[in-house]
Structure 1
Amino acid sequence: MPHKVITSLIPEYEKLKNGKVFLGLTLISILIRLPFFFRDYVDRDESTFILMAQSWVDGHLPYTQLWDLKPPLVFLFFAAIIYIFGKSFIAIRLFGALAVAGIAFFTFKIGKEAHSPRTAFWSAIGCVYLLSLFGSVQGVMSEHLSMLFFIPGLYLLIKFKKFRYYLLAGILMGISLMMKLNLAYGVMGIGIFILTDAILKKRIRPGIYKLCLLAGGILLVMAATCLPYAIAGISEVWIDSVILAPLAYSSDQQNSVLNVLPLCGILFLLGFLSWKKRWIDFKNREIQLLMIVTLGIVFSFIKIGRVNGHYLMQLYPMLLILTGIVLCKTVKGKPKYFPLVLVLTFLLPVESYLEYHNVLKNKIAYGTFYNGEGFTVPSFIKKNKLNQDEVLFFEYHIGYWLLNANPPPKRQHIPVIFADRHFTPILTIQERVQFQN
Structure 2
Amino acid sequence: MLRKVITSLTPKYHKLKDKSVFLLLFATSFFIRFPFFFRDYIDRDESTFILMGQSWVDGYLPYVELWDLKPPITYLFFASSIYIFGKSFLAIRFLGTLVVAITAFFTYKIGKEMDSKKLGFWAAMACIALQSLFGSLQGVMSEHICMTFFMPGLYLLIKHERIFWSGLSGILMGLAMMTKLNMAYAVLLLGIYVLYRYTKQREYNKAIRFSFFFAGGIVTVVLLTLMPYFISGSMEVWWKSVILAPLEYTDARRYSVLKMAPTFLLLGLFFYYAWKKKLLDFRAPPVQILTIAILGVLLSFIKGGRINSHYLIQLHPILIIVVGMAVGKIPIFQKFDYRPYLFFLTLVVPLESYLEYYAVVRNKIERGTFFNGEGFTVPQYLVNTNTDTQNILFLGYHIGYWVLDAKPPTKAATHPSNICRDELFPFYDNPRSSSLQELQYIFEEIRPKVIVVRKNRLVFDKKEVEENEYVDAYLEKYYTVFATIDKAEILQRSH
Q: TM-score, normalised by structure 1?
A: 0.95
How far apart in 2 are the matches of 1:87 and 1:334? 52
Residues 62 and 431 of structure 1: CA distance in aligned 2, closer, same or farther (over 3 Å): closer
- Structure 1 contact 33–132 (Cα < 8 Å) conserved: yes
Partner of 2:342: 341
Letter in 2 for 1:369: F
Greater CA deviation, 303-312 or 90-99?
303-312
Q: 1:338 to 1:121 in 2, by over 3 A?
A: same
Q: Which has the larger radius of gyration?
A: 2
Asked whether the equivalents of residues 395 and 421 of structure 1 are also in contact (C-alpha less than 8 Å), the reply is no
Q: Deviations over 1:48-90 (max 9, x none)?
A: 0000000000111110000000001101101111011111000
Q: Pick the aligned partner of 1:419 from 397, 415, 418.
A: 415
Q: Would you say the 8 A contact 1:65–1:416 is kept in 2?
A: no
1:234-249 map, 5 Å: 234-249=234-249
Q: Matched residues in 2 for 1:31 and 1:393: separation?
A: 32
- Which has the larger displacement, 37-46 or 418-427? 418-427
The one-letter amino acid of 2:47's match is: S
Aligned length: 432
Could you tell me how far apart the structure 2 residues matched to 1:430 and 1:299 are?
A: 28
The AA in structure 2 aligned to 1:340 is Y
Q: Is the 8 A contact 1:120 1:321 kept in 2?
A: yes
1:268-347 mapped onto 2 (5 Å cutoff): 268-330=268-330, 331-334=332-335, 336-347=337-348
Q: Partner letter of residue 196 of structure 2? A: T
**Alpha-carbon distance in 1 for matches of 2:115, 2:211:** 26
Residue type of the alignment partner of 1:303: K
C-alpha contact 2:240 2:428 (8 A) present in aligned 1 = no
Partner of 2:231: 231
Partner of 2:208: 208
Structure 2: gaps spanning 5 or more residues: 436-460, 465-495
> Distance in 1 between the 2:156 and 2:371 partners?
40
Write the deviation string for residues 142-167 of structure 1: whole angstroms up to 9, x where unpaired. 00000000100111111100001111
- Tell me if the contact between 2:195 and 2:211 (Cα under 8 Å) persists in the aligned partners: yes
Alignment of 1:85-96 (within 5 A): 85-96=85-96
By how many angstroms is 1:2 displaced?
2.3
The SS at the match of 2:266 is: helix
Alpha-carbon separation, structure 1, partners of 2:360 and 2:391: 31
Check 1:51–1:107 CA distance in 2 against 1; reply closer, same or farther (3 A cut).
same
C-alpha offsets along residues 155-210 of structure 1, whole Å, 9 cap, x if unaligned? 11111000011111000110111100000010011012112212321223312321
Q: Please give the alpha-carbon distance, in whole angstroms, between the structure 1 residues aligned to 2:339 and 2:71.
A: 43
Partner residue of 2:121? 121
Contact 2:38-2:360 at 8 Å conserved across structures: yes
Equivalent AA in structure 1 for residue 392 of structure 2: V
Paired letter, 1:156: L
In the superposition, relative to structure 1, how do residues 318 and 434 fare at CA in structure 2: closer, same or farther (>3 Å)?
A: farther
| Match in the other structure for 2:265 | 265
**Which stretch shifts more, 198-207 or 269-278?**
198-207
How far apart, CA to CA, are the structure 1 residues paired with 2:259 and 2:370?
Answer: 39
For residue 426 of structure 2, the aligned residue among 422, 425, 428 is: 428
Contact 2:67/2:414 (CA < 8 Å) preserved in 1?
yes
Q: Deviations over 1:235-270 (max 9, x none)?
A: 111111111111121122342233222111111111
CA distance in 2, matches of 1:140, 1:254: 24
Q: Which amino acid aligns with 2:385?
A: N
**Cα shift readout 1:78-104 (whole Å, capped 9, x = no counterpart):** 111101111100000000001000000
d(CA) in 1 for partners of 2:394 and 2:139?
20
Shift, 1:423, TM fit: 4.9
Corresponding residue SS for 2:408: coil
What SS does the aligned partner of 1:313 have?
helix
For 2:39 and 2:318, locate their aligned partners in 1 and report how far apart those are by CA, in whole Å. 30
Q: CA deviation at 1:290?
A: 0.4
Of 425-434 and 125-134, the range deviating more from structure 2 = 425-434
Residue number in structure 2 paired with 1:58: 58
Structure 1 pair 107–434 and aligned structure 2 pair: CA distance change class (3 A): farther
Instruction: Compute the RMSD of aligned alpha carbons.
Output: 1.9
Distance 2:381 2:9 in 1: 51
Q: Structure 1 residues 376 and 221 mapped into 2: Cα distance closer, same or farther (>3 Å)? A: same
Give the aligned partner of residue 412 of structure 1: none
Q: Which one-letter code corresponds to 1:429 in the other structure?
A: F
Choose between structure 1 and 2 for higher RCO, CA contacts under 8 A separated by at least 6 residues: 1
- Letter matched to residue 89 of structure 1: F
What CA distance in whole angstroms lies between the structure 1 residues aligned with 2:232 and 2:91?
Answer: 31
Contact 2:241 2:428 in 1 (8 A): no
Q: Secondary structure at the match of 1:392?
A: strand
Report the Cα offset of residue 226 of structure 1.
0.6
SS of the aligned residue for 1:62 comes to: coil
Match of 2:102 in 1: 102
Structure 1: stretches of 5+ with no match in the other structure: 410-414
Asked if 2 retains the 8 angstrom alpha-carbon contact of 1:127 and 1:317, the reply is yes
Which residue of 2 is the match for residue 29 of structure 1? 29
- Aligned residue for 1:400? 401
- C-alpha deviation, 1:380, in angstroms: 0.8
